[in-house]
A and B are shown apart, each in its own frame.
Chain A
Amino acid sequence: MSIIIIGAGPAGCEAAYRLAQSGEQVELIEKENETGGNLNNWYQLFPDRKSAKELNRLLRQNLNHPNIRVHLNCEPVKIIRENNSFSIDLNDGAQLQGEALLLTTGFRTFNARRKEEYGYGIYENVMTSVELENFLTNHQLQTSTGKKPERIGLIQCVGSRDEKICNFHCSKVCCITAVKQAVEIREILPDAEILCFYMDMRMFGPGYEELYREAQEKYNIRFIRGRLSEASENLSKQVMIKAEDTLVGKPIRMSLDLMILMVGMEPSEGTRQLATQLNLKLAPNGFLHTADPHYATNLTSTPGIFSAGCSTSPMNLTDTLTDARSAAIAIKEFLLSNRANTHKKH
């Protein structure tokens, strides 16, 4: 019997490959027509600006392993658990049998329309960080009226750390994403004024603080500590914003030619649906609950069902891939103990 992995984003791909390498058969289910998940929407990765395509290619190449079967355009319609096995019906009619289930259903980005005072979907020159990546891929950035933007603002914590939209958590990666994107914008627009509005700069990863410093020093990116309060549009379609410059201690207002919203992470639809379907416990932030935050990050509230990557919390790619490998080890241990017919409590 095999191991069934739901979601072929970076976590799903990496876990599939590691399990396959250890001799297990893997069924990898993906609802889209290609693997890679959210990574498909990204141009370059932080902090080293590695091409997202390149990493995606590597992860995809690993799936050619003879022990891995990939089911694209597939979603589980029925999951039944009998004793120590799972039986899953897919929407294409296939039926899969598995000894363990790994959920790598990941995150979705925050729907910026919900933060209505920022005017996303209403004001023409407001876009999300995800949409910006697409412009960066094409090395072109202009306003809705086709002008060269002279002042661009990147707004942190959109959909994160905000009780008003019921997301208390920090999405972790938006700070460094903003720094990376600011630098990339600078390369396209050498003369533009580029400002980041932040509450805290959470530069937790290796090379992050260094990139932040480089952004200030070499790329002349300005950082203003203050959360965006509201935005509006003026006659020339510029975005008028209000924030507090908390380090000066005064409200600040200005017009922006382009406003980029750094959208945070929320559990994906798949994560939510499966949690309900499988009756899994959720953490207060809505992501999957893990058995222990330090020692058992891949165990859900149900034995035999594992999780990895952003289905359990916002993570950067480094942590996602590490978590996937960790899940492979946890699953392997589970299988060995099962097969030895010794029942251990988790």
Chain B
Amino acid sequence: MNIWGFSISEARVINYDKNDKSIAAQLSKEVPDSNLCIGCGGCSATCTAGNLTDFNIRKLQMSIKRGETTEAARELHKCMLCGKCLTVCPRGVDTRKMILTLHKLLHN
């Protein structure tokens, strides 16, 4: 029983030293153009899923790159694979392949 009425808060800071970035390394290898993201948000602005839920493909792939995978793994299935993001990306990132690869890496 917690006699204190509170517990020690967990830090929400990205602890880059401790985070496991192996998924990010593998993604970079399998989908090299995912390195090219400049964070413009074109993909998430047009995203079908993102307009109905808090799914954010831009943020998701950036979180993965910092080794923040837990939340990203939970969010991933919300993508409907419509491919609209693919058509707007100014850096030509193959976002569909990125999502499918992440599915494979995170859920296998």
Seen from chain A, the residues whose Cβ lies within 8 Å of a Cβ on chain B are: 201, 213, 216-217, 220, 222-223, 225, 245, 247-255
Enumerate 14 A-B pairs (CB-CB under 8 Å) in ascending A order. Answer: A217-B32, A217-B33, A217-B36, A245-B14, A245-B66, A248-B62, A250-B13, A251-B12, A252-B13, A252-B14, A252-B16, A253-B13, A253-B17, A254-B15
What are the interface flags for B6-50 relative to A under an 8 Å C-beta threshold, 1 for contact and 0 otherwise? 000000111111000000000010001101101100000000000
Minimum Cβ distance to chain A for residue B16 (Å) = 4
Contact A247 B62 (CB under 8 A): yes
| Nearest 7 A/B pairs, CB to CB | A254-B16, A252-B14, A251-B13, A247-B39, A216-B35, A248-B62, A250-B14
Q: Across the interface, which residues of A come within 8 angstroms of B15, CB to CB?
A: 253-254
Q: Across the interface, which residues of B come within 8 angstroms of A223, CB to CB?
A: 38
Minimum Cβ distance to chain B for residue A59 (Å) = 35
The total of chain B residues at the interface (CB under 8 A) is 21
Q: Across the interface, which residues of B come within 8 angstroms of A247, CB to CB?
A: 39, 58-59, 62
Q: Which of B46-87 contact A (CB under 8 A)?
A: 58-59, 62-63, 65-66, 68
Majority secondary structure of chain A interface residues (helix, strand, loop or mixed): strand
B103 contacts the other chain (CB 8 A):
no
Partner of B38, one of A201, A251, A253: A201
Partner of B35, one of A220, A245, A249, A255: A220
Contact A251 B14 (CB under 8 A): yes
User: In the assembly, what is the distance between CA of A217 and CA of B35, in Å?
Assistant: 6
Q: Across the interface, which residues of B come within 8 angstroms of A255, CB to CB?
A: 17
Minimum Cβ distance to chain B for residue A198 (Å) = 10
Q: Across the interface, which residues of B come within 8 angstroms of A222, CB to CB?
A: 65
Contact A248 B13 (CB under 8 A): no
Partner of A213, one of B28, B32, B36, B68: B36
